[in-house]
Structure 1
Amino acid sequence: LFDWRPDRLPGEPLKCERVVIIKNLFTPEDFDKDSKLILEYQQDIRSECAKCGNVTKVAIYD
Structure 2
Amino acid sequence: RRLREALRQGAALSAPPGCDYVFVAREKALDLPFARLMSEMSAALAAPQRERRSKARPATS
Which TM-score applies when normalising by structure 1? Answer: 0.32
Q: Return the structure number with greater relative CO, CA threshold 8 A, min gap 6.
A: 2
Structure with the larger helix share: 2
